[in-house]
C-alpha cells in the first residue's frame, strides 16, 4: 500500500438517510438486474474458497476422484487431512512446526515496528529540531522502494557482515538454531517502518499541542510524555497498524523465502505451502487442508478486528 | 517422525527473549532520556529516532544504492560491465516475454479489480445485506497470496477427459459440452488466469475504499438528482462517478504499484514456467536461484524506475487535494 493522504484513522461519516429513501433504493435493487449482478459477484468471490474448505474435510480418495460439489449429495467428513498435514511426517508437510515458525516470525516483527515507529513518529511530530521535515520527507519517500531493491545487499549483510576494502567493520551474524529468526525479524521490521512511521505520524501530530505544553510545564521529559500521554492516546492507531503489519508479515512469502534461506526449521507456513504446491501439486488433500491451516489466523484477525482493518485501509487512501 | 511441540519450544523461548529484551532496552532508553533535566531537545530527538534511522539507512537506503551499483557489475559483483545487464534485459526473448507479461498485469489487474470493486460497491450500497456482502468480497484481502493461489489452482485443476473433473473450471466446461483444458500450461491464457487471482484479491480493497467514497457524497445531491428524474445509470455516470473520481485514481495507482511487485502468485501457481514469469519473479530467479546478481539487480532497478512516476503522480495529486481542503 502506498497511502498518501494525512487523514487520521477515521471511519467515514455514514450518510444519514431517511427510511423512506433507503427503502425505495432497496426496492429498486432487489430482483432487478443490478441485484442479480451483485449476487453473481458475491458468489464468484466466495465459491473458490468455499470449495477448498469443503474439500479439506473430504477423504483424500474422494478429493482425488470427484469434485467437491458432490460432497453435498454424499457428505463424508474427516479430519484426517488436517491431522496428516499438521502432525504427520515432515514429507507430509508437518505444518504444526511451520505454524509455530509463522508466530515466532510475526509477533516480534509486529511489536518492533509498532514501538520503533511510535518513537520516531513522536519525535518527528513534537520534538523541535532542525531538519525534522526533511527526515520525515525522506522516510515518506522510502515507502515507494520495492522490496526487491534491497534484498541482495541486506542478505549479504547478514551472511558476510560489512567490510570496506579488506577491513571487516561489522562481522557476519552467524546465528544458528532458534536464533536464526533474528534475521527475518530485522528484515520485516525494516520493511514495515516507513508505512508505520507515516501512519502514526498522521495520528500523533494531530493530538492537541496544549497537552504536551502542560506536561512539559509540570516538568515531564519526552520519555515520560511518550509513555504516559502519547501511548495511551494512540492505541486505536496502534491497533490498526498492528493488524496490518501482522497480516502482512504472516502472509509474506518473499522476505521469508530469502531471509530464512528456505530452511525447514525456520520457514513459515507460506514458504512451506508454496513448496508443497510446487513439489506435490496434485496432493490436494494436503494442499487444501494446509491452505486452511495458513488462513486460520488471518481469518480470525479479519473477522474479529475487521473494523480496525478497514479503518487502517481508509486512513491510507481516502479522506473520510 | 511424529510432531512434538518440545522441538519447537526453543523458538518460542527465543521469541519471548527477543521481545522482552527489546522492550527492556526501549524502556530503559525512555527513562534515561528524562534523567538529565535539561531541555536539549536535539539529543532527545536523536535517541527517539535512532532505532528507525539506523534500520532504514542500513536496510533500505544503503541497499538501494548498492543494488543500483551492482546492476552495472558482472555476476560476482567484481567486474564493471557498464550497461550490459540492461542490454541483456531488452535483448533476450525470454526476458522480453517477462516484460510483456508485466505489462499485461499492469494493464489488466488494476483496471479490472477497481472496476469490479466500484461496481460492487455501487450495487450493494445501502442494501439490507451490505455488511455481509462487503465481508464476502473483502475476505480474500486477509488471505495470503500463497493461499489464494492454492485456492485458484484447485479451481483450474485438470483431469483427462475420460475421468471425472474435480476442478470447478473444467467441470463447468464439461457441463457445457467442452473438453477439459490444461489451463495453466496454455500461453498466453495462463497469464490472464494468474491476473484473475490478483483481481480476486484486490477487488475487496477497491470495493471498501470506493464504498467509503460513495458514502461521502452528500445525500442532498443524490436526492436532488433523483427528484429531477435521474435514473440509476444517469445517477451513476453524472453524480457518483465524478464525485469518486479522485479516490478512484488513488485506488488505481495503489493497485498498480502492488501489481508491479507481484511475486507470490506467479511463484505458487506456475513457478514462472510456461511463459508466465514477471519482473518481480524473474529478479528472484536471477539473483537468488541462478546467482546472477548483476542481472537480478538490473531487473530490480528497472522495477523501481517503473514504480517511481506512479508514486510521484499520487503524491502530487494528494498535495493538491490537501491544498483544496
Cα–chain center distance at A54: 26
A2/chain B closest Cα distance in angstroms: 6
Mutate which of A173, A302, A318 to disrupt the B interface (most B C-beta within 10 Å)? A318
CA distance A137 to A133: 6
Which residues in chain A touch residue B264, judged by CB atoms under 8 angstroms apart?
253-254, 270, 274
Is the Cβ pair A46, B136 closer than 8 Å?
yes
Q: Does A270 touch chain B (CB under 8 A)?
A: yes
Is A56 within the bounds of a domain? no
User: What is the pLDDT, as a whole number, of residue A5?
Assistant: 43
User: What is the pLDDT, as a whole number, of residue B324?
Assistant: 59
User: What is the pLDDT, as a whole number, of residue A19?
Assistant: 47
Which residues in chain B touch residue A151, judged by CB atoms under 8 angstroms apart?
63, 287-288, 300
Is A75 within the bounds of a domain? no
- C-alpha torsion angle, residues A25, A29, A31, A35 (rounded to 10): -160
Is the Cβ pair B171, A250 closer than 8 Å?
no
Considering only CB atoms, B14 lies closest to which of A120, A129, A179, namely A179
Is A181 within the bounds of a domain? yes
Is the Cβ pair A34, B64 closer than 8 Å?
no
A143/chain B closest Cα distance in angstroms: 9
Per-residue pLDDT for chain B (325 aa), expressed as one digit of tens each? Answer: 577 888 889 999 999 999 999 999 999 998 888 776 666 777 888 889 999 999 999 999 999 999 999 999 988 778 899 899 999 999 999 999 999 999 999 999 999 999 999 999 999 888 888 889 999 999 999 999 999 999 999 999 888 888 888 889 999 999 998 888 888 888 889 999 999 999 999 999 999 999 999 998 998 988 898 888 888 888 888 889 999 998 898 899 889 988 998 899 999 999 888 999 999 999 999 999 898 999 999 999 999 999 888 888 877 876 776 665 5
In this model, does residue A256 exceed pLDDT 90? Answer: yes
Is A164 within the bounds of a domain? yes
Considering only CB atoms, A94 lies closest to which of B3, B41, B140, namely B3
Ordered by where they begin, the domains of chain B are 5-82 (no CATH), 84-323 (1.10.3720.10)
B61/chain A closest Cα distance in angstroms: 8
Residue A268, domain extent: 87-316
Which residues in chain A touch residue B281, judged by CB atoms under 8 angstroms apart?
none
pLDDT tens digits, A165-191: 677 777 777 777 778 899 999 999 999
In chain A, the residue whose alpha carbon lies closest to the alpha carbon of B171 is A67
Whole-model pTM over 0.80: yes
User: What is the pLDDT, as a whole number, of residue A2?
Assistant: 43
**Residue A253 is part of a domain; what is its CATH number?**
1.10.3720.10
Which residues in chain A touch residue B251, judged by CB atoms under 8 angstroms apart?
317
pLDDT tens digits, A110-169: 999 999 999 999 999 988 888 888 999 899 888 888 888 999 899 888 888 777 667 777
Is A263 within the bounds of a domain? yes
In this model, does residue A271 exceed pLDDT 70? Answer: yes
For chain B, helix, strand, coil in percent to 5 are 75, 0, 25
Instruction: Look at chain A and report how many structural domains it folds into.
Output: 1
Which residues in chain A touch residue B152, judged by CB atoms under 8 angstroms apart?
48
User: What is the pLDDT, as a whole number, of residue A168?
Assistant: 73
pLDDT tens digits, B20-73: 999 999 999 988 887 766 667 778 888 899 999 999 999 999 999 999 999 999
Is A185 within the bounds of a domain? yes
pLDDT tens digits, A213-225: 888 888 888 888 9
Among B148, B113, B123, B90, which Cα is nearest to B268's? Answer: B148
Cβ atoms of residues A10 and A318 within 8 Å: no
Amino acid at each position: 500500500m502506498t497511502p498518501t493522504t494525512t487523514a487520521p484513522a477515521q471511519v467515514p461519516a455514514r450518510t444519514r438517510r431517511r427510511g423512506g429513501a433507503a427503502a425505495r433504493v432497496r426496492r429498486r435493487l432487489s430482483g432487478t438486474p443490478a441485484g442479480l449482478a451483485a449476487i453473481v459477484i458475491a458468489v464468484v468471490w466466495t465459491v473458490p474458497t468455499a470449495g477448498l474448505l469443503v474439500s479439506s474435510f473430504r477423504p483424500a480418495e474422494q478429493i482425488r476422484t470427484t469434485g467437491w460439489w458432490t460432497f453435498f449429495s454424499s457428505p463424508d467428513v474427516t479430519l484426517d487431512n488436517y491431522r496428516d498435514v499438521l502432525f504427520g511426517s515432515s514429507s507430509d508437510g508437518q505444518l504444526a512446526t511451520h505454524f509455530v515458525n509463522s508466530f515466532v516470525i510475526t509477533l516480534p516483527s509486529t511489536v518492533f515496528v509498532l514501538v520503533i515507529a511510535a518513537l520516531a513518529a513522536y519525535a518527528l511530530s513534537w520534538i523541535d529540531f532542525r531538519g525534522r521535515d526533511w527526515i520525515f520527507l525522506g522516510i515518506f519517500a522510502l515507502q515507494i522502494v520495492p522490496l526487491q531493491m534491497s534484498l541482495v545487499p541486506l542478505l549479504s549483510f547478514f551472511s558476510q557482515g560489512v567490510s570496506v576494502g579488506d577491513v571487516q567493520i561489522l562481522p557476519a551474524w552467524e546465528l544458528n538454531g532458534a536464533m536464526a529468526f533474528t534475521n527475518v525479524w530485522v528484515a520485516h521490521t525494516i520493511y514495515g517502518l516507513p508505512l508505520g512511521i507515516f501512519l502514526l505520524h498522521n495520528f500523533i501530530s494531530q493530538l492537541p499541542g496544549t497537552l504536551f505544553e502542560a506536561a512539559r510545564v509540570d516538568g515531564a521529559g519526552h520519555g515520560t510524555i511518550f509513555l504516559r500521554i502519547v501511548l495511551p492516546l494512540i492505541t486505536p492507531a496502534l491497533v490498526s497498524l498492528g493488524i496490518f503489519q501482522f497480516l502482512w508479515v504472516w502472509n509474506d512469502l518473499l522476505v521469508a523465502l530469502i531471509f530464512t534461506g528456505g530452511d525447514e526449521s525456520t520457514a513459515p507456513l507460506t514458504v512451506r505451502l508454496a513448496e508443497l504446491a510446487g513439489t506435490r501439486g496434485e496432493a490436494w488433500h494436503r494442499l487444501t487442508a494446509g491452505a486452511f491451516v495458513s488462513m486460520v489466523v488471518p481469518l480470525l484477525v479479519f473477522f474479529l478486528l475487521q473494523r480496525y482493518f478497514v479503518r487502517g485501509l481508509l486512513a491510507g487512501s481516502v479522506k473520510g | 517422525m511424529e510432531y512434538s511441540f518440545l522441538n519447537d519450544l526453543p523458538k518460542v523461548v527465543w521469541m519471548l527473549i527477543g521481545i522482552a529484551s527489546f522492550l527492556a532496552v526501549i524502556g530503559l532508553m525512555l527513562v534515561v532520556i528524562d534523567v538529565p533535566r535539561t531541555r536539549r531537545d536535539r539529543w532527545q530527538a536523536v535517541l527517539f529516532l535512532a532505532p528507525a534511522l539506523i534500520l532504514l539507512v542500513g536496510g533500505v537506503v544503503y541497499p538501494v544504492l548498492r543494488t543500483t551499483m551492482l546492476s552495472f557489475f558482472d555476476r560476482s559483483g567484481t567486474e564493471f560491465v557498464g550497461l550490459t545487464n540492461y542490454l541483456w534485459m531488452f535483448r533476450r526473448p525470454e526476458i522480453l516475454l517477462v516484460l510483456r507479461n508485466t505489462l499485461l498485469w499492469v494493464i489488466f489487474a488494476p483496471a479490472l479489480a477497481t472496476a469490479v470493486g466500484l461496481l460492487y460497491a455501487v450495487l450493494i450500497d445501502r442494501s439490507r445485506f451490505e455488511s455481509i456482502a462487503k465481508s464476502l468480497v473483502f475476505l480474500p484481502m486477509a488471505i495470503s497470496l500463497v493461499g489464494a493461489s492454492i485456492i485458484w489452482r484447485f479451481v483450474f485443476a485438470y483431469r483427462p477427459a475420460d475421468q471425472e473433473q474435480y476442478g470447478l473450471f473444467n467441470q463447468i466446461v464439461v457441463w457445457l459440452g467442452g473438453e477439459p483444458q490444461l489451463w495453466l500450461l496454455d500461453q498466453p491464457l495462463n497469464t490472464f488466469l494468474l491476473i484473475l487471482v490478483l483481481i480476486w484479491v484486490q477487488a475487496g480493497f477497491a470495493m471498501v475504499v470506493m464504498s467509503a467514497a460513495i458514502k461521502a457524497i452528500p445525500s442532498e445531491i443524490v436526492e436532488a438528482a433523483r427528484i429531477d428524474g435521474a435514473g440509476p445509470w444517469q445517477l451513476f455516470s453524472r453524480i457518483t462517478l465524478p464525485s469518486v473520481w479522485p479516490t478512484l485514481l488513488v485506488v488505481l495507482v495503489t493497485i498498480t504499484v502492488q501489481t508491479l511487485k507481484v511475486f507470490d502468485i506467479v511463484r505458487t501457481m506456475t513457478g514462472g514456467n510456461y511463459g508466465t514469469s514477471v519482473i518481480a519473479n524473474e529478479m528472484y530467479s536471477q539473483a537468488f536461484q541462478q546467482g546472477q546478481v548483476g542481472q537480478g539487480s538490473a531487473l530490480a532497478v528497472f522495477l523501481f524506475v517503473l514504480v517511481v512516476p506512479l508514486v510521484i503522480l499520487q503524491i502530487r495529486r494528494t498535495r493538491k487535494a490537501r491544498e483544496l481542503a
